[in-house]
Structure 1
Amino acid sequence: MVTKNERSRAAGRANRWNTLVAGIAVLFVATGSAAPAAELKRPHYQVRRFEEDWSVLAEVPAAERTGRFDAMKYVRLTEDGWLWASFGAQVRERIEAWSNFGFGAPADADAVFLLSRMFAHADFHLGPAARLFIEAKSSLATDRDITGGRRTLDVDELDLQNGFAELRVPLADEGRMTLRVGREELLFGKQRLVSPLDWSNTRRTFDGITARFEAFGWSATGFFSQLVRVKKYDPNTTNDDVDLFGLYATTSELRGLGGADLYWLGLDRTSAAFNGDSGHERRHTVGARLWGSIGEKRIDYDLEAAYQFGDLGSADVSAFMIASQAGTSIAALGYHPRVEVGFDYASGDDEPGDGDVETFNQLYPLGHAYLGYIDLVGRQNIIDLRGTTVWPFFLRSKIKVDLHSFWRASTDDGLYNAGGKLLRAGSAGDSRHVGIELDMTVKRPVSPHTLVVLGYHHFFPGDFVEQSGRSRDVDFAYLSVQYTI
């Protein structure tokens, strides 16, 4: 429900919305005809902007820096370059249109609204050993007249997204330790369990400490963090009720296999509930991931499995998940289209309230990328069989089509959405079949700075959804324009 106070806030910001929309349109047009810069291997823009290293520009004379924003990507603050800075920003506008949001419950479940997001960062380097990174964020939304209204996923008026001090210490055999203290977005592996959730308008971040060790071809990150609670119109605060900690190790130099991740993730929440059991949750996740390619046709694969143990109140936790995908490009078909198949399994509980919790906890994932764009399905009590095809075509555009078929892993447990919320109780129906989702996206990089994405998505409810409540087909479409510097 949108309050009168929220409506007045939105009305008061009308001019700002107009400025934002006009600004992004100007940027879009301007960059579309930009001349290519001189050959220089610049860093690619990253999801987490602090992973970019613009020191590559240090030895390039100012007159030879022909990139549109080179002047702000490397700024020498002392004559010898011991102190230097890099600045950047990103603006994203996304229009969303929904029909029958949440299977049409309640009946008024149609809406069109605009999500706007702005980031700006400053990255200060003090010699090779120290660094200070600061990134501010503003996330806004017009009226969202469907369930949830303008959520904390949509609105965070002005706040700090990343802000940490970093210390780098060289180790033996060309190794290095990197220590960070402060607010930092966390991202591990394929983001199946821990992700900043870039799809969200506000993104996810944590307060804490991380220590990364790099040696012998491996990188291992130990961390202790607390989730940052978004407060839409007030300063965000650390959530002392949620601790996330662990160790994540990765290498891309595993002989004969490609790459591997090994991890332990700990979660401590003062309150949680799963299928009739509730209480203080202390859950540990141990897992591994392998990826690489095999065969003369270069079939690539990605396999991940994780097991969870611990306790929830007086109940014992024992749960697991498996994720897999394999794909290849077909050279014989003109544009080299890619085909891919995937299988995901996340365990569910076999008996409500029996003192044993078998529901997998998906933690803090980028579920949106793996289990459908409509976000009706999360990595909890679910089986997903997926087929994907990607067709490159003119002007570096790509058309991607995903087809998912979802079933419940256990008929005694419910359906959980991408945020881990229970949508339908297990007792509401006896069918396993949740439904089928069709996802279609077109992605067009207009320039090195501008990305346009158009998507249409449809969910066909299965027997369980029909048995357990309102079951209208869900339609979702969006247009996103993102400009990054």
Structure 2
Amino acid sequence: MPSNGWTSRPGLALELVLPILLAAAGSISLATASASAEPSARSAPASSPSPAAPAASVWKPTETADTVLHAENVLWSRPLHDALRLPGWVDVAVDHRTRFEFLDDPWRPGESQKQTQIVQRDRLRLGVDAPGGIRFLGEFQDARVFNDRPNDFVQAEVDHLDVLQLFVSTTRKDLFGKGLRVDAHAGRMTLDVASRRLVARNDFRNTVNAFDGLHLQLGSDDRKWRVRGFYTFPVAIRDSDLMNNRPSTRRRFWGLAFEDQRNPWLQLDAYSLGLNDLPGNRSYRTYGLRVHRKPVPEELDYEGEVAAQLGDRRTAAQGVRDQSAWMVHAELGYTFGVAWSPRLAAQFDYASGNDDPSDDDSHAFDPLFGARRFDLMPTGIFGAFRRTNIVSPGVRIGLVPTKTVRLDVKVRHWMLDEARDAFAGTAGPGGGALTDASGDAGRDLGTDLELRARWDAREWLAFDVGYDHWWKGRYLDQVANARTRGDADYFYLQSRVRF
């Protein structure tokens, strides 16, 4: 893929300078607000000093039109809103992220031996709250990759200036005087469902899944439970076009979900998802159940999720194949009541694969539109593992030294569920996913160690740094077309500015 902008000096300068401008603007706005709130020492009489006025607060929305659609926190303070002197019914916000990535000893066919990339993502949010609970929201995104070479891995990272969300919504609270709430959305939107493993508004990935359609929910005003349904057309990302991401009426995605958080010991998600993808030759129904408890100091927490996928898929070699696949996630953790609040958790993930890729049945689980960074591994130019044909036990340790710093250590062992099926996360510039039809290469994919640190320096400024070492297993030594046999190293450094 071409380098998307290094040859354009004005465009490159803007991309590199923008983070500095954003940080400066946020600092100036906050400083100006603070200064304007303090009485002038020169104007106050010496004999009767005035008490210090409270610091001026920066406007912050309590709810936005998309708050109920996804889990991402979009309720940060808005210095830009105050600088523009906008009324409270208008919302304007900017979000900029830059990430440097390095990968050594990759595995995908045709990849470069060493890869360095700079990925950048800019978002502009424009919202209007009209009378009667009517809201409008537009969210625009520009996602680009710099410093990539022809044989580097660039997938789902580029989306030139486009519409991420554009919808109208209505909200009715305390319906019938029963403490019920109804929300309806129509237009283009992003979604999180249940654990986000199958439907997610992507975060680490540079681009985001979007859907054109309808979303309706009924729940309690305190958001302790809700029933939600949606009927949409997934939006196809065209990385080289401006404002041209479009849905296809031949791809339909719908779902119904129940989410209940009333019992802190037993929080429940149940969902049914349908996908009819004619261009992709997929027609699935996915049924899932999740039970979990959030971490609490000096107590056990847990999560269990199972999903069954039924339907059919079509391939050029075998024609129509019956789909019957499974996904399982299990986790048990404990948070110690000592300094840094260490949490130790054991994890297990399973996603079925095909035991006989040549027969008329398909057992390879399809992760649909889910995210994987939060419990599997970093994606970007790394991300070897998907929720397809994998078995992975692991251990994770989380530490919280301060309110703004979080440290994580994760170790996971990886195996194929079925040795003859494809290693799904390995399609690259030089060909499709690694596959050993004989099964002689075995199932052992190796073990990875991940270190991660996150620092929320300010409400509007955050940093994220991570390192992952993957000791490759026997499979990578034996399978044909693997790019290198050496162990892989991945590093990233990320900054994010929001105001």
- Name the TM-score, length of structure 1 as normaliser: 0.84
**1:34-433 alignment runs, 5 A limit:** 68=79, 71=82, 75-76=86-87, 84-102=89-107, 105-106=109-110, 108-145=112-149, 147=151, 150-151=154-155, 153-169=156-172, 171-172=175-176, 173-215=178-220, 217-234=224-241, 235-254=244-263, 257-272=265-280, 280-292=281-293, 297-313=298-314, 314-332=320-338, 334-373=339-378, 374-393=382-401, 396-417=404-425, 423-427=433-437, 429-430=439-440, 431-433=442-444
Secondary structure in 1 matching 2:18: helix
CA deviation vs aligned residue, 1:201-250 (integer Å, no higher than 9, x gap): 12221111111111595311111112211222322111334221110110
Question: Which protein has the larger Cα radius of gyration, Structure 1 or Structure 2?
Answer: 2
Partner of 2:475: 464
Q: Kindly tell me: are residues 376 and 329 of structure 1, through their superposed partners in 2, closer, same or farther at Cα, counting changes over 3 Å?
A: same
Is the CA contact (8 Å cut-off) linking 1:457 and 1:476 kept in structure 2?
A: yes
CA deviation vs aligned residue, 1:2-41 (integer Å, no higher than 9, x gap): 37xx467545522212322432564687799997967899
Q: Which runs of 5+ in 1 are unaligned?
A: 58-65, 78-83, 273-279
- Give the aligned length: 455
CA deviation vs aligned residue, 1:377-425 (integer Å, no higher than 9, x gap): 0001111111111122257322211111011112231211199996211
Is the CA contact (8 Å cut-off) linking 1:379 and 1:418 kept in structure 2?
A: no
Please say which of residues 42-51 and 434-443 is displaced more in the overlay: 42-51
Q: What letter corresponds to residue 202 of structure 2 in structure 1?
A: L
Partner residue of 2:493 out of 473, 479, 482: 479
Structure having the higher strand fraction is 1
Give me the whole-angstrom Cα distance separating, in 2, the residues matched to 1:14 and 1:281: 40
Is the CA contact (8 Å cut-off) linking 1:37 and 1:67 kept in structure 2?
A: no
1:453 CA drift (Å)? 0.6
- Name the TM-score, length of structure 2 as normaliser: 0.82
Give me the whole-angstrom Cα distance separating, in 2, the residues matched to 1:71 and 1:422: 51
Give me the whole-angstrom Cα distance separating, in 2, the residues matched to 1:31 and 1:411: 58
1:338 CA drift (Å)? 1.4
Root mean square deviation of aligned Cα: 3.4
1:129 CA drift (Å)? 2.3
Partner of 1:2: 2
Give me the whole-angstrom Cα distance separating, in 2, the residues matched to 1:394 and 1:257: 27
Partner of 1:20: 18
1:113 CA drift (Å)? 2.1
Give me the whole-angstrom Cα distance separating, in 1, the residues matched to 2:489 and 2:214: 41
Secondary structure in 1 matching 2:261: strand
Partner residue of 2:452 out of 425, 433, 441: 441
Q: Kindly tell me: are residues 251 and 128 of structure 1, through their superposed partners in 2, closer, same or farther at Cα, counting changes over 3 Å?
A: farther
Secondary structure in 1 matching 2:373: helix
Is the CA contact (8 Å cut-off) linking 2:311 and 2:322 kept in structure 1?
A: yes
Q: Kindly tell me: are residues 154 and 281 of structure 1, through their superposed partners in 2, closer, same or farther at Cα, counting changes over 3 Å?
A: closer
If asked which structure has higher relative contact order (CA below 8 Å, sep 6+), I would say 2
